[in-house]
Amino acid sequence: MAALGSTILGSFNAMGTTLRNFFRRATTIQYPKVQRPIPRQWRGGTFALTIDPATKEENCIGCRLCEYICPSQILHVTLRKGDKRENGVGATYCDEFTLDFEACMQCELCVQVCPTDAIVMTRYLADCPYTRAELFLSKEKLLEHGHKLVERPDDASYATGTHLREWTDAKRGIAKDDEEGAPT
């Protein structure tokens, strides 16, 4: 008899919760039409190769630091020497840049180690892939994402190498304009 009473009481509690929430306003967001703001520190977007807006050159110099530091070994970068760049970062170019997004753990180590802030994580969601081949990001696809960042620069992740260096220098008390690195 006690089991029947607890079952009935549990059913009334469940119905009470349902009735209480039945008249509330829905919290569902209609995603494609309405988008929630994404936090600055969010990891989960896709990657992009950045472009210098002034010269329209890619920022990647093919140093391969991102390939060396990647714990998943999903990056492949080849270097090409060429003419001196217009943006003044050397005379080397990235010939081939591939990233296997399927195996990426989104640790952002490749972003943090890049000396020219060429590879960045974006805060916008990539298109939904339907095949595994679409998760393989080529240089052309990454540069396409970089062109989107030129249009919307606030969609870049905050964890670029430059931002992290500025943050750690500020924590150590080094002024941004101080060239010798003496504490201020």
Per-residue model confidence (pLDDT) at position 140: 93
- Which of the listed ranges 33-47, 104-118, 156-170 does the model predict with the highest average pLDDT? 104-118
Instruction: Considering only residues 94 and 126, tell me which one the structure prediction assigns the higher pLDDT.
Output: 94
Q: What residues have CB less than 8 Å from 125, skipping those under 6 apart?
A: 44, 45, 46
Which fold does the domain 47-172 belong to in CATH?
A: Alpha-Beta Plaits (3.30.70)
pLDDT score recorded for residue 56: 82
- Tokens 């620069």 locate to 153
Determine the pLDDT at residue 183: 44
Cα-flanking dihedrals φ and ψ of residue 119, to 5°? -105, 130
Phi/psi zone of residue 88: left (φ > 0), alpha (ψ -120 to 50 degrees), beta? left
Judged by average pLDDT, the poorest of 24-28, 86-90, 111-115, 119-123 is 86-90
Give the whole-angstrom CA distance, residue 111 versus residue 106.
Answer: 10
Task: Give mean pLDDT, residues 96-123.
Answer: 88
Q: What is the distance between the alpha carbons of residues 108 and 105, in angstroms, rounded to a whole number? A: 8
What 3-state DSSP class applies to 111?
Answer: helix
> Mean of the pLDDT values across residues 60-71?
91
Over residues 64-83, the mean pLDDT reads 90
pLDDT of 98: 94
Mean per-residue pLDDT, 110-125: 85
Using DSSP bridges, classify how beta strands 47-49 and 119-121 pair: parallel, antiparallel or unpaired: antiparallel
Domain residues of the chain, as ranges?
47-172
Going by pLDDT thresholds of 50, 70 and 90, the confidence category of residue 81 is confident
Question: Phi, psi at residue 77, to the nearest 5°?
Answer: -130, 135
Q: What distance lies between CA 51 and its chain's CA centroid?
A: 16
Residue 56 and residue 23: Cα distance in Å, rounded? 55
Mean pLDDT of 9-14: 91
Q: How far apart are CA 155 and CA 172, in angstroms?
A: 28
Residue 24 — very low, low, confident or very high, per pLDDT cuts 50/70/90? confident
User: Token match 């490749």: residue?
Assistant: 110
